[in-house]
Amino acid sequence: MARQFFGTDGIRGRTNAGVMTAEIAMKVGQAAGRRFLRGGHRHRVVIGKDTRLSGYMLENALVAGFTSVGMDVVMTGPMPTPAIALLTQELRADVGVMISASHNPYADNGIKLFGPDGFKLSDEDELAIEAMLSEDLPLAESEQIGRARRIEDARGRYIHAVKASVPQDVRLDGLKIVVDCANGAAYQVAPSAVWELGAEVIAIGVSPNGKNINEKCGSTHLDLIKETVVASGADIGIALDGDADRLIVVDEKGQTVDGDQIMALIGTELHARGQLRGGGVVATVMSNLGLERYLSGLGLTLERSKVGDRYVLERMKEGGFNVGGEQSGHMIMLDHGTTGDGTVAALQVLSALVRSGKKASELLHLFDPVPQLLKNVRFAGGKPLEADSVKAVIAQAEKELEGKGRLVIRPSGTEPVIRVMAEGDDGAQVEAIVDRICEAVKEAAA
- Whole-number pLDDT of residue 413: 67
C-alpha to C-alpha distance for 110 and 104, rounded to whole angstroms? 10
User: What is the pTM assigned to this prediction?
Assistant: 0.92
Count Cβ atoms within 10 A of the Cβ of residue 37 and give its class: 0-12 exposed, 13-18 middle, 19 or more buried: middle
* 102 included as an active-site residue: yes
CATH level 2 (architecture), domain 175-363 = 3-Layer(aba) Sandwich (3.40)
| Class of residue 31 by CB neighbours under 10 A (exposed 0-12, middle 13-18, buried 19+) | buried
323-357 burial, b if ≥16 CB within 10 A, otherwise e? bbbbbbbbbbbbebbbbbbbbbbbbbbbbbbbeee
Evaluated on CA atoms 426, 428, 429, 435, the torsion sign reads positive
* Under 8 Å between Cβ of 384 and 444: yes
Q: What is the per-residue pLDDT for 414?
A: 64
Asked if 6-151 and 175-363 have one fold, the answer is: yes
Q: How far apart are CA 92 and CA 343, in angstroms?
A: 23
Q: How many CA within 13 A on the CB side of residue 45?
A: 36
Task: Give the count of beta carbons closer than 10 Å to the beta carbon of residue 19.
Answer: 18
The class (CATH top level) of 6-151 is alpha beta
DSSP secondary structure, 149-213, as one string: EE-S-HHHHHHHHHHTTS-TT---TT-EEEEE-TTSTTTTHHHHHHHHTT-EEEEES----SS-T
Spatial separation of the C-alpha atoms in residues 297 and 346, rounded to whole Å = 25
Secondary structure of residue 104 in the 3-state scheme: coil
Alpha carbon of residue 136 to chain centroid: 33
Q: Which of 54, 100, 102, 287 is catalytic?
A: 102
Per-residue pLDDT of the chain (446 residues; tens, 9 = 90+): 567 898 878 999 999 999 999 999 999 999 999 999 988 899 999 999 999 999 999 999 999 999 999 999 999 999 999 999 999 999 999 999 999 999 999 999 999 999 999 999 988 999 999 999 999 999 999 999 999 999 999 999 999 999 999 998 999 999 999 999 999 999 999 999 999 999 999 999 999 999 999 999 999 999 999 999 999 999 999 999 999 999 999 999 999 999 999 999 999 999 999 999 999 999 999 999 999 999 999 999 999 999 888 899 999 999 999 999 999 999 999 999 999 999 999 999 999 999 999 999 999 999 999 999 999 999 887 789 999 999 999 999 999 998 889 999 988 766 789 999 999 999 999 999 999 999 999 988 87
pLDDT of residue 271: 97
CA 42/CA 77 separation, integer angstroms: 22
Please report the pLDDT score of residue 406 as a whole number.
93
HSE, CB side, 13 Å, CA atoms: give it for residue 206: 16
**CATH classification (class only), 372-445:** alpha beta
Comparing CA positions, the residue from 374, 214, 191 lying closest to residue 286 is 374
pLDDT value for 4: 83
Closest C-alpha among 262, 269, 271, 265 to residue 238: 262
All structural domains of the chain with their residue ranges: 6-151, 175-363, 372-445
- The confidence score (pLDDT) of residue 3 equals 77
3-state secondary structure of 143: helix
Q: Is 22 exposed, middle or buried (0-12, 13-18, 19+ CB in 10 A)?
A: middle
What does the pLDDT read at residue 380? 81
